[in-house]
Every structure is written in C-alpha cells, then in structure tokens.
C-alpha cells in the first residue's frame, strides 16, 4: 500500500513538472504489471532530452521535454 501511495505522489509531481516545463505527457497502458519510476537525460547535439516515467500497475505516465544546453 505504501508503494502505491508513493508512486501516486511521484506521478503527481511528474505531472506538475510537465505542466511547468510545457512537456509532452503520454499516458499509455502496459501489458503486464509494473511498478516503479524512471529519470533519463539524453544529450543531443542541440539540446538535452529529459524523460520522466512512472509505472502504476498497468498504466504508464511519461513526461518528455527538451532543454537547451547551458553555456
């Protein structure tokens, strides 16, 4: 129960970050059962692509946005 409540809080934080950053928010089904969260930062030539993903059983919430390089 604590795991599910923690993941719901993390998912809500990810959605708030998505609104603040004007990010793409993708909600999709998962075949099977998965629980957890992910942070990924990929450096591209012109910008950094940042991905936040929260898995709540059979639902995946993904937030993706690009930020320019600093400097």
Residue 71 confidence (pLDDT)? 55
Per-residue pLDDT tens digits of the chain, which is 71 residues long: 888 899 889 999 999 999 999 999 999 999 999 999 999 999 988 899 999 999 998 999 999 999 887 75
Domain positions in the chain: 2-68
Q: Which residues contact 56 (CB under 8 A, 6 or more apart)?
A: 4, 7, 8, 11, 35
What's the confidence (pLDDT) of residue 19? 94
pTM: 0.86
d(CA 21, CA 67): 9
């Amino acid at each position: 129960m604590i795991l599910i409540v923690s993941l719901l809080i993390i998912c809500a934080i990810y959605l708030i970050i998505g609104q603040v950053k004007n990010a793409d928010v993708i909600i999709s089904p998962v075949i099977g059962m998965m629980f957890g969260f992910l942070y990924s930062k990929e450096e591209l030539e012109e910008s950094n692509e940042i991905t936040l993903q929260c898995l709540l059983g059979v639902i995946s919430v993904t937030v993706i946005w690009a930020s320019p390089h600093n400097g």
